[in-house]
Amino acid sequence: MTTSASARPGLWSIRGPISRNTFWTLAAIGLLTPVLLWWGIALSGWVEKVFMPSPAAVWDRTLIWFDEDNLVGDAIISTYRVSAGWAMSAAIALPIGLLIGTFRPVQALLEPLTDFVRYMPAVAFIPLVMLWIGIDEGSKIAIIFIGTFFQMVLMVAEDVRRVPTPQIEAAQTMGATRAEVIRLVLLPSAKPALLDTLRITLGWAWTYLVVAELVAANSGLGYAILKAQRFLQTDKIFAGIILIGAIGLVSDQLFRFLHRKAFPWLHFK
């Protein structure tokens, strides 16, 4: 091999360039390989069906679930629980995180406490939540809230702290008051990072769904997974997990789309 005149960096150079075609080819391989492996293993008969149902079986089960078992209803109630817990968390975490990230006394007062509580496992709060809130919708939402809130506060505070100091000081030397610095600089400057934080924490809220639906639920995707476990309906467990993943993926893409629309200056080439 001779060295060519145009020394184009190879595919494996650090942070090297990649063409669109190569990227999507590799992405397709990455996505399809596990599915094909799964299919292959299921078809080969090495593993018993109870442990690993075939993709076709999972698909069939999903259709049955849809036709006879109110899949749409389960998806809606679960989405509602996750959204409600996450939205309540956001409604409180945004102002508190803003205060922690802006005023040092508030940081001293609340951040160590939040840091402490966030290491407590949300699952362990279930008995307390049942005792305090009962076993209806509120308790499921509360579990998701507990799992999301404390992390969210710390991330919001960090987003606000990351606003470059010169942006704040420039406003002050133009005569901005404290309230104006918060409203006209800190908030708009942190907004893109805040939207990312909301996107990431919504993903975490979904991971608490199954836990939340441990509490005396009789509907929902998490509940369906738990019930399927009792009857060894492995194909339904697979279907439930994949559905939750798919809903998460769609909401994530929605947030990314919103990010591009709301903050065009961050997406210029």
Partner 1 sequence: MAALQVSAAPRIQVRGLGKVFDGETRVVALDAVDLDVADNEFVTLVGASGCGKSTLLRIIGGLEYHTSGEIVAAGRPVRGPGADRAMVFQHYSLYPWLNVVENIRFSRQLAINREHLTSSDVEVAMGRADALLDLMGLRSMARAYPTQLSGGMQQRVAIARALMGRPEILLMDEPFGALDAQTREVMHDLIRHVFKLERATIVFVTHDVEEAIYLGQRVVLMAPRPGRIDTIYDVPLPAQRHQDMKLDRAFLDLKKAVVERIRETSGMKTDFELLDKLSRAASST
CA distances from 75 to 16, 36, 112, 206, 236 (A): 42, 27, 37, 12, 14
Nearest to 93 by CA among 104, 101, 105, 81: 101
Q: Which of 18, 135, 169, 232 binds partner 1 (CB under 8 A)?
A: 169
Three-state DSSP at 49 gives coil
Q: Which of 173, 218, 230, 231 binds partner 1 (CB under 8 A)?
A: 173
Q: Alpha helix locations (H) across 103-220? A: 104-117, 126-133, 137-161, 165-172, 178-181, 187-207, 209-212
For residue 188, the minimal CB distance to partner 1 (Å) is 5
Rule CB under 8 A: say whether 115 interacts with partner 1.
Answer: no
Give me the residue label for tokens 């007062």. 109
Looking at 86-94, 129-137, 174-182, 234-242, which segment touches partner 1 (CB under 8 A)? 174-182
Rule CB under 8 A: say whether 188 interacts with partner 1.
Answer: yes
**Cα–Cα distance between 190 and 253 in angstroms, integer?**
21
By the 8 A CB rule, do 110 and 166 touch? no
Rule CB under 8 A: say whether 185 interacts with partner 1.
Answer: yes
Rule CB under 8 A: say whether 265 interacts with partner 1.
Answer: yes
Q: Which of 177, 216, 253, 258 binds partner 1 (CB under 8 A)?
A: 177
Closer of 49 and 178 to partner 1 (Cβ): 178
Nearest to 155 by CA among 232, 119, 101, 233: 101
Rule CB under 8 A: say whether 261 interacts with partner 1.
Answer: no
Q: Which two tokens stand for residue 53?
A: 């149902």
Rule CB under 8 A: say whether 103 interacts with partner 1.
Answer: no
For residue 267, the minimal CB distance to partner 1 (Å) is 9
| Site residues (vs partner 1, CB under 8 A) | 164-167, 169-177, 180, 184-185, 188-189, 191, 263-266, 268
